[in-house]
Structure 1
Amino acid sequence: MASQHVNPLGALGKSGVSAPRLGYGCMSLSNNLYAGAPSEEDAIKLLRRAYELGVRLFNTSDLYGPYTNEQLLAAAFPASAYPDVVFATKWGAMFVPGAGIVNDNSRENCRKSCEGALSRLQRPALDLFTYRGPPSASAAGIADTMQECKLLLAEGKIRGVGLSEVSAEQVRQAAAVVPIAAVELEWSLFTRDAEDEIIPTCRELGISILAYSPLSRGLLTGTVRSAEQIQESDFRRKGFPRLDNLDKNLVLVDRVAAIAGRKGCTPGQLALAWVLSRGADVFPIPGTRSIANLEQNMGALAVALSAEECKELEEAVPADQVVGDRYAHMAATFHGAKGTAAHH
Structure 2
Amino acid sequence: MALPTRRLGSLTVSAVGLGCMGLSHGYDVIPSAEESARLLNRALDLGVTMLDTAALYGGGANERLLGGAVMHRRSEFTLASKCVLDMVDGKRVLDGSPAAIARTLDAALARLCTDFIDLYYLHRLDPNVPVEESVGALVRAREAGKIGAIGLSEMSAATIRRAHAVHPIAAVQSEYSPFSRNVEIAVLDTCRELGIGFVAFSPTARGLLADAIRDDAWAAGDLRRTMPRFTGENLAHNLRVGAAFNAIAQECGITPAQLSLAWVLAKAPFIVPIPGTRRIAHLEENLVAATIALDDEATARIDALFTGDAIRGARYSAAAQAQIDTERFPGE
For Structure 1 versus Structure 2, the TM-score category normalised by the shorter chain is over 0.9
**1: CA distance, partners of 2:267 / 2:326:** 22
TM-score (norm 1): 0.89
Q: Is the 8 A contact 1:189 1:319 kept in 2?
A: no
**1: CA distance, partners of 2:15 / 2:245:** 23
- After superposition, residues 46-195 of structure 1 pair within 5 angstroms as 46-79=39-72, 81-95=73-87, 101-136=92-127, 139-195=128-184
Within the candidate set 236, 244, 254, 1:265 is matched to: 254
Spell out, residue by residue over 1:142-171, the C-alpha distance to the aligned partner (whole angstroms, 9 max, x if none): 011111211222222111000012221111
Deviation of the 1:194 alpha carbon = 1.0
Within the candidate set 217, 221, 229, 1:241 is matched to: 229
Match of 2:23 in 1: 29
Deviation of the 1:240 alpha carbon = 4.7
Q: Which secondary structure does the structure 2 equivalent of 1:217 belong to? A: helix
Residues 109 and 96 (structure 1), Cα distance of their counterparts in 2 relative to 1, 3 Å cut: closer
Q: Is the 8 A contact 1:192 1:319 kept in 2?
A: no
Deviation of the 1:102 alpha carbon = 3.1
Establish whether residue 8 from structure 1 lines up as the match of residue 1 from structure 2.
Answer: no
Give the residue type in structure 2 aligned to 1:282: I
Q: Is the 8 A contact 1:225 1:246 kept in 2?
A: no
Within the candidate set 232, 238, 249, 2:220 is matched to: 232
**2: CA distance, partners of 1:117 / 1:96:** 13
**2: CA distance, partners of 1:286 / 1:319:** 25
Deviation of the 1:299 alpha carbon = 2.0
Spell out, residue by residue over 1:53-91, the C-alpha distance to the aligned partner (whole angstroms, 9 max, x if none): 211101100000111101111111124x34121111011
Q: Which secondary structure does the structure 1 equivalent of 2:205 belong to? A: coil
**2: CA distance, partners of 1:26 / 1:70:** 9
Q: Is the 8 A contact 2:175 2:203 kept in 1?
A: yes
Match of 2:276 in 1: 287
Q: Which secondary structure does the structure 1 equivalent of 2:312 belong to? A: coil
**2: CA distance, partners of 1:232 / 1:108:** 34
**2: CA distance, partners of 1:221 / 1:282:** 19
Aligned-residue CA RMSD (Å) = 2.0
Q: Which secondary structure does the structure 2 equivalent of 1:43 belong to? A: helix
**2: CA distance, partners of 1:171 / 1:125:** 24
Spell out, residue by residue over 1:28-75, the C-alpha distance to the aligned partner (whole angstroms, 9 max, x if none): 1114x2231001001101111111121110110000011110111111
Deviation of the 1:295 alpha carbon = 1.4
Q: Is the 8 A contact 2:15 2:290 kept in 1?
A: no
Give the residue type in structure 2 aligned to 1:286: P
**1: CA distance, partners of 2:58 / 2:211:** 28
Match of 2:321 in 1: 330
Within the candidate set 190, 197, 200, 1:211 is matched to: 200
Structure 1 segments unaligned to the other structure (5+ residues): 338-344
Match of 1:340 in 2: none
Q: Is the 8 A contact 1:256 1:313 kept in 2?
A: yes
TM-score (norm 2): 0.92
Deviation of the 1:94 alpha carbon = 2.6
**2: CA distance, partners of 1:259 / 1:176:** 42
Q: Is the 8 A contact 2:6 2:13 kept in 1?
A: yes
**1: CA distance, partners of 2:140 / 2:313:** 41
Within the candidate set 33, 44, 50, 1:40 is matched to: 33
Q: Which moved more, 1:89-98 or 1:45-54?
A: 89-98
Give the residue type in structure 2 aligned to 1:23: G
**2: CA distance, partners of 1:113 / 1:97:** 13
Residues 124 and 96 (structure 1), Cα distance of their counterparts in 2 relative to 1, 3 Å cut: closer
Q: Is the 8 A contact 1:28 1:37 kept in 2?
A: yes
Within the candidate set 279, 282, 300, 2:289 is matched to: 300
Deviation of the 1:307 alpha carbon = 2.3
Q: Which moved more, 1:117-126 or 1:56-65?
A: 117-126
Q: How many percent of aligned residue pairs carry the same amino acid?
A: 37
Q: Is the 8 A contact 1:191 1:319 kept in 2?
A: no
Spell out, residue by residue over 1:263-317, the C-alpha distance to the aligned partner (whole angstroms, 9 max, x if none): 1101111011001112221110111111121111112223211223211211122
Q: Is the 8 A contact 1:222 1:253 kept in 2?
A: yes
Residues 239 and 316 (structure 1), Cα distance of their counterparts in 2 relative to 1, 3 Å cut: closer
Residues 240 and 7 (structure 1), Cα distance of their counterparts in 2 relative to 1, 3 Å cut: farther
Establish whether residue 201 from structure 1 lines up as the match of residue 190 from structure 2.
Answer: yes
Q: Is the 8 A contact 1:17 1:159 kept in 2?
A: no
Residue correspondences, number: 326
Q: Which moved more, 1:185-194 or 1:303-312?
A: 303-312
Give the residue type in structure 2 aligned to 1:65: G
